[in-house]
Amino acid sequence: MGQSLWFASRGTGLVTALLLTATTVLGAIHAGRVTSARWPRFTLHAVHRNLSLLTLVFLAVHVASAIIDPYAGIAWLDVVVPFVSTYHPFWLGMGAVAFDLILAVVVTSLLRRRIGLWWWRAVHLSAYALWPVAMLHGVGIGGADTRLGWVLALYLACAAAVLVAVVRRLLVRDPDRDARRRAWTS
Amino acid sequence: MDIVSATAGDATTTTPYRMRLLAGWADTGTTAGLAEHHRRYAPLPPAAFAGRGGPARLIGLVESSGLRGRGGGGFPTARKLAAVAAGRGPRTVVANGCEGDPAGAKDRVLMELAPHLVIDGILLAAHAVGAAEAVLCVHEDSSAIPVLAAALRERGATRTPIRIVEVTRRYVASEETALVSVLDRGDARPRGRFPRPTERGVRSRPTLVDNVETLAHLALIARYGDAWFRAAGTDDSPGTTLVTVGGAVNDPGVYEIELGLPIGAILQVAGGPLVPVQAVLLGGLGGTWLGPEFVRTPLSHAGCRTAGAALGIAAVIALPAAACGIAETARVLRFLADESAGQCGPCMFGLPAIADDMDELALMPDHAGRVAARLRSRLAVIPGRGACAHPDGAVRLAASALHVFADDVAGHAEGGPCRWVGQPSWMPVPAPAGRRR
Amino acid sequence: MSRTPLRLRVEPITCHAHGICRELLPELIRLDEWGYPVLDDHPVPAALLAPARVAVRSCPSLALRLDRMA
C-alpha cells in the first residue's frame, strides 16, 4: 500500500475544498435571490444541496484515509476535538472545527422543519465562518502541496469566487426585507 | 367628540328607542360610581349562576339571547364562550377596549361612563369560561384608563383579578391575535388566523377575547334575561348597540340605538345632516361606502349584508354631497397603508399601491380609465391573503368607493384634477402632513 | 395514504416572496406583482400532489403547507 492512503487523503482534501467552495458560492447566490430563465432558484438550490452531500462523501474519505494511514498518527478523536492532535495541532484543529461546523450545518438542514427557521438560519450562517476555517486548514497543513503553483492558483480562485458571491449577496436589494424593516415603528 | 345620547325621534319603522348601556349616565355625562351603578342596575345576582351548572347556565342564557360580538366581527358570543369553557387548562379573559379604528369612539365612551358595567361583564365572562385571570386592554394614554383604574380600586379584590394593560395606539393592535401577542411578548402585531385564541391564546392557553361593549351587554343579560335582551333589535341582531356617528351631522358623537334602525334615522339621532349627504361610510375605516340608499338601510347584520356592507364597529360617517368620495377614500387608504404591520407581502405592498391608485384617480384624470383598471385588478388579488383582516378592510373600502362614486371617477376622467383635493377631510384620519416617517 | 383532499396554503407572515413555489408548481401557483404567491382554494389534483410536496419542501421560509381540507 505504501503512501497511497496518504496521497488519497491529500487528494480528497483538495477536492473537498473545491466542492465546499462551490457549495458556499451557490448558497450565497441562492440567498442573494438571483433568478434567470436558465437557472431557476430551485435548480440552484438543488445543486447547492447535492454538492453539499458530495462534499460530505469526499470529506469522509479524506478523514478516514488520514486516520487509517499510520504516518501522521491522527486519532479518531482528533477529527472532532480541535487542537489535541500531536500532528500539527493548530492546522489539524482548524480542520476539526470545520468538520464540526459542517456536521452542524448538515444536521440542522436535515431537521429544518423540526427546529424551525430561526435556529436553522443561525447555524447555516456559520457556513461563512466554516469556509475560511476549512481553507486555512488546507493551506496550513498542506505544506509542500500548497507551494505548488497550480494548487495556489486554485486556492486563490476559490477565495475570489466566495468573495464575489458574498459581496453580491450583501449588496443585493430585497424589497421584502426592506419593507419589513421600515414598516412597524411603535 | 360630544357624548350625547338621544331618542330616535323620527324613526318610523322600529319600536321605540331604548337605552340600556348608557341609560342615565349619558344624561349627566359623568362616570357612574359603584353606588350609582348598583342603584341603577342592582348588584349582580350571584346566586343565579353559582354552583356546578352555573357557568353552563350563563352560556345558555347568552346563546338564547342571541348576543353577537360588538368589536367588528359580529361572531355569536355564546359560541366563543363555549369554545373557551371547553378548553383544557387555565384560561384567560381579555376584554378588548382598544378600539384601533379612529372612526369609533364607542368603547372609550362606554368605559368612561359605565366602567362598572364593563367590569361586571368581565367577571361574568371569567366565571362562564372558568378563567383565573382577566386582562382589560386599553390604548395607551386613553382617557378611559384613570376611570377604569378608579373603578377597579372601588371594587377592591374581585373574584377574578383584573389588570389593565396599555396597548400601543396602532390600528391593527386591537385585532385579537395582536392582543394575545402583546400580552405574551409585547409585540402588538397580529399573528395569523389559526389557531384561534379560543384554542391557543395567551400563554398558549384557551383565551376569550371579547369587545368591552359585548361584555357590558353580557352584564345586562345576566341580570334581565334573554327575553328582555331580544325585546330590542332584530331576529338576527338582537339588542341595542353603541354607534359612533361622525362626518357631516349636527351632533357627532356616540349614541345607543336599537339594532335594525335605518341609517337615515341614525343620522337624525345625531342631530340630522349638516348639509345634504351623498353617502355614508359604514362599519369603520375599513368599511363600506353606501350611496343614497343608506337612508333606508337597517343597521343590523342582515340589513348591512343585504346592502353589500358589513356592520363592523357600527361607525357611520356622513359625507357631504359636495365632497369628493374618491379623494376622501384616498386619504383613508393612505392611513390604512401606513397602519399596516408590515408582516404580509400583499398588505405591505398592496395597500400603498391601491392608495397610490386612488390618489391618481383623484389627481391625474388623463388616464383615469387605465388607473381604475389597474386598481380593480389589484383589489381582486389582495383580499384574504393577510394574517389578519386589515388588507381585506382596505380593499372593501376601495371597491365600494369605485362603486358608489362611479360618477366621480367618470367626472375626474373628463375634467381637471379633483376640486376637493387640499380641502379639509371629513374622514377621521390624521392629516397626511402629520404622518409618521 | 389518506384520500382526504389536500390544498395548498401559505403562511402570509412567513412568506418572503422567494417565488420558488411558483417555479416548481406553475400549474397551481401564480405570483402577484410583488412576488407573493396567489393560491386558489381548490383541492390539489392527484396528478400534481408530488410536485406540490416538492414545492412545500423547497420553500426557503417554510411558509408553504399542504393542508387537509376541512
Q: Which residues contact B246 (CB under 8 A, 6 or more apart)?
A: B1, B103, B252, B315, B316, B317, B318, B428
- The fold for domain B325-434 equals de novo design (two linked rop proteins) (1.20.1440)
Residue spans of the domains in chain B: they are 25-230, 240-320, 325-434
| Average pLDDT over every residue of B48-58 | 88
The three cell numbers locating residue B107? 368603547
Strand partners, B238: B233
CA B40 to chain centre: 26
Check pLDDT > 60 for residue C8: yes
Q: What is the pLDDT of residue B410?
A: 81
Cβ–Cβ of B348/A186 closer than 8 Å?
no
Measured distance CA(B286)–CA(B382) in Å, rounded: 14
Query: Mean pLDDT of all residues in chain B?
Result: 89
Cell numbers 367590569: residue? B119
The minimum CA-CA distance between C63 and chain A, rounded to whole Å, is: 10
Whether residue B431 has pLDDT greater than 80: no
- The alpha-carbon gap from B141 to the nearest alpha carbon of chain A, in Å, equals 14
pLDDT at B432: 58
pLDDT of residue B338: 93
Within 8 A of A112 by CB-CB distance, chain C residues are 62
CATH of domain B25-230: 3.40.50.11540
Other CB atoms within a 10 A radius of the CB of residue B225 amount to: 15
| Cell numbers found for residue B381 | 388579488
Please give the Cα distance from A82 to A92 (Å, whole number): 7
Task: Write down the pLDDT at residue B13.
Answer: 30
Q: Is the pLDDT of residue B141 over 50?
A: yes
Q: Which residues of chain A have pLDDT under 70?
A: 1-2, 35, 37, 183, 185-186
Give residue B146's pLDDT.
Answer: 96
- Res B18 pLDDT > 60: no
For B350, residues 6+ apart whose C-beta sits below 8 A from its C-beta are B378, B381, B382, B391, C32, C34
Are A45 and C14 a contacting pair at CB < 8 A?
Answer: no
User: A65-70 long-range contacts, Cβ below 8 Å, gap at least 24?
Assistant: A65/A5, A65/A6, A65/A8, A65/A9, A65/A12, A66/A6, A66/A9, A66/A13, A68/A5, A69/A5, A69/A6, A69/A9
Cβ-based interface (< 8 Å): residues of C facing B: 10-13, 15-17, 32-36, 38
Q: How far apart are CA B31 and CA B211, in angstroms?
A: 20
How does residue B15 score in pLDDT terms, banded at 50, 70 and 90? very low
Q: Which amino acid is at A106?
A: V
| Minimum-distance CB partner of C23 among A42, A116, A176 | A42
Residue among B346, B378, B381 minimizing CB distance to C12: B346
Confidence of residue B21 (pLDDT cuts 50, 70, 90): confident
Q: Where are the beta strands (DSSP E) in chain A?
A: none
pLDDT recorded at residue B44: 79
Helix axes B390-404, B350-363, angle to 10 degrees: 20
pLDDT at residue A84, rounded to an integer: 85
**B350: closest CA among B325, B317, B385, B320?**
B385
**In the predicted structure, residue B385 carries a pLDDT above the cut 50:** yes
pLDDT tens across A85-100, in order?
888 899 999 999 999 9
Please write the tens of the pLDDT for every residue from C13-57.
999 999 999 999 999 999 999 999 999 888 999 999 999 999 999
**With an 8 Å Cβ cutoff, are A41 and C61 in contact?**
no
**Cell (9 digits) for B2:** 360630544
- Average pLDDT of the residues in B209-228: 95
Assigned CATH for B240-320: 3.10.20.600
Nearest to A102 by CA among A83, A121, A124, A82: A124
Chain-chain contact of B348 with A180 (C-beta, under 8 angstroms): yes
Q: What is the mean pLDDT of residues B305-322?
A: 95
Q: Is A49 on the interface with C (CB under 8 A)?
A: no
Task: Provide the pLDDT confidence category of residue B10 given band limits of 50, 70 and 90.
Answer: very low
pLDDT band at B117 (very low <50, low <70, confident <90, very high): very high
CB-based contact C32 B350, cutoff 8 Å = yes
Mean pLDDT value across residues B75-89: 94
Domains of chain C and CATH, by start? 6-68 (3.30.70.20)
